[in-house]
Amino acid sequence: MRFSPLFLGWGVLVLGMTAMAEYNGWSLARINQVENVPKTVRDNPGAYRSTYGYYNRYIGGK
């Protein structure tokens, strides 16, 4: 049974990437990382300003 070493390499790559994705818990969703969220947000959730999450009806301005 002749097999293509190229296909074998591709298969190993696909399987490896899948294993990594599953093990590390990757996601296809668009999630943005934000740093330094202050601890005060727990007491005052309204103070948190999400720069990314707003629905696109939000047009500029403060």
Partner 1 sequence: MSSPAVTPPVVKAKALHCANCGGPVELRGFGHTLSVVCPQCHAVLDVSTPLVQILQRAQEAQERVHPKIPLGTRGQIENVAWEVIGFQVRQIVVDDVPYSWDEYLLFNPYYGFRYLSEYDGHWNFIRTLPLVPESVAGARPALRLRGVTYKHFQHSNATTTFVLGEFPWRAHRGETAAVDDFIAPPRMLSGERTDGEVVWSLGEYWTGGQIWKAFQLPGRPNPAVGVYANQPSPHHGRAGAMWRLSLWMLAALAAMMFYFTVSARREQVYAERHTFSTGTGGEPSLVTPVFELKGRPSNVELQIRTDLDNNWAYFNLALINQDTGRAWDFGREVSYYHGNDGGESWTEGGQSDSVSIPAIPPGHYYLRIEPEMDSKQASSMSYDVSIRRDVPTYTFFLIAAVLLMIPPIVSTMRVGAFETARWRESDYAPSSGGGE
- Interaction site with partner 1 (CB under 8 A): 1-4, 6-8, 10-11, 14-15, 17-19, 21-39, 41-42, 45-46, 48, 50-55
Nearer to partner 1, 37 or 59 (CB): 37
The least CB distance from residue 6 to partner 1, in Å, is 8
State how far the Cα of 53 lies from the Cα of 37, in Å rounded to an integer.
Answer: 15
State how far the Cα of 31 lies from the Cα of 51, in Å rounded to an integer.
Answer: 12
Alpha-carbon separation of residue 20 from 10, 15, 24, 47 (angstroms): 15, 9, 6, 37
The least CB distance from residue 60 to partner 1, in Å, is 17
